[in-house]
Structure 1
Amino acid sequence: MRIYLIGFMGCGKSTAGKKLAAKMHWPLMDLDKTMEELEGKKVSEVFAEKGETYFRERERNVLHESTFFTDAIISCGGGTPCFYDNLTWMKQNGLSVYLRGTQEFLYSRLKEKKAKRPLIANMNDQELWNYIQVKLTEREVHYVQADIIIDAQDLDIDILMSIIRNYLK
């Protein structure tokens, strides 16, 4: 079974993915990190240099490569489920789990780590708040189509594992 973790930037997909993969003894595929390894550049650089169309097509190809794993945790980029038929494809090839974060929760997490995220590094607090508000509103319509929706705030990996197991019964 492939488990696709989706959600907005900063919701904890990468962290949850690492913990879930370790507990389940499954490999972890982080789409952003895989993209960076393949391109030899940061995701933000690929996006800036080659454009969104190239980036999203490449991202889709990398997503499809996740089928090389029988069992795996796949941590997706924040926009991955919102383009092409990616979310439908994920649901056909595994289980999609939306780590839902409120605007306030995401803002508090991203504000602390802006420097590590080139896309938002130069935004002031108000710009960051507005960015999250606009993008979260745009993307929520896709995210909520996930097989499982769980609150990202105070996420407990054991509870998430239990929910996944119950879903798969």
Structure 2
Amino acid sequence: MTESLQNTPNRIIIIGYMGAGKTTLGWALSKILNFKFYDLDWYIETRMHKTISQIFEERGEEGFRIIERNMLHEVAEFENVIIACGGGTPCFFDNMEYLNKQGETIYMNATADIICQHLNISRNVRPLLKDKTEYEVKVFVKKQIEERDIYYKQAKHIIKVHLMDNRKKINAMAKQLISIIEMSRKALPTIEKNNK
């Protein structure tokens, strides 16, 4: 199913902590809007011919963040795309400012509990969570969300995330997000007119 939005931005950029559901929501949005979907981590892995874990091991976090920034600048130039960024992407360099200039940014605001539930559902091994117990993961996630919130909350839109454990919930969230973007795009000319 495809939907047409009035004044649809040609780039929708999803940010938030790992496990918030950025990739899941990104795929759903791309199908509804008929946009191409890019997961930044997958894009990096494809271009570098290495997994994110391998890049972390070989170059450390600092080296990875430089690669991530370069790849972000590539993918954020594409037209009619949904981009799911890595959890740390907005927190380094001028990435958040750049993302806001490139398109509609959406912060998927999920609690540590929701994120841990999503991570338990997911089969992906996350480099920053490697070798941590379930309790250590929850403490780590909560602390990092608090530290990163200042960057995440710079997004143009913030959407509260609930457990996305079935297709119906995912599609409902995607449609809710489209409505939010559409309403803000319709309001923009009025706001600009009133500010003159």
Question: TM-score range, shorter-chain basis?
Answer: over 0.9
TM-score by length of 1: 0.93
Q: CA deviation at 1:67?
A: 3.8
Between the aligned residues of both structures, percent identity stands at: 35
Query: How many residues are matched?
Result: 168
Q: Secondary structure at the match of 1:149?
A: strand
Q: Deviations over 1:101-131 (max 9, x none)?
A: 0111112222343x52242242111111111
Structure 1 residues 92 and 68: alpha-carbon distance in aligned structure 2, compared to 1, 3 A threshold: closer
Decide whether aligned partners of structure 1 residues 146 and 68 sit closer, same or farther in structure 2, where only a CA change above 3 A counts.
Answer: closer
1:71 aligns with 2:71: no
Alignment of 1:13-162 (within 5 A): 13-113=22-122, 116-119=124-127, 120-153=129-162, 156-162=173-179
Q: CA offsets, 1:31-77, max 9 Å, x none? A: 00000011111112101111122211111111111243222101100
Q: Could you tell me whether the CA contact under 8 Å between 2:13 and 2:99 is conserved in 1?
A: yes
Structure with bigger gyration radius? 2
Checking the alignment, whether the CA contact within 8 Å between 1:111 and 1:125 is kept in structure 2 is no
Structure 1 segments unaligned to the other structure (5+ residues): none
Q: Distance in 2 between matches of 1:147 and 1:123?
A: 33
Give the RMSD, CA atoms, in angstroms. Answer: 1.4
Where 2:86 maps in the other structure, the secondary structure is coil
CA distance in 1, matches of 2:135, 2:102: 39
Listed as ranges, the gaps of 5+ residues in structure 2 are 1-9, 164-169, 187-196
**Aligned with 1:165 (options 171, 174, 182):** 182
96-105 or 119-128, larger mean C-alpha shift: 119-128
Inter-CA distance 118–106: structure 2 relative to 1 (3 Å threshold): closer
Task: Give the Cα–Cα distance (whole angstroms) in 2 for the partners of residues 68 and 91 of structure 1.
Answer: 13
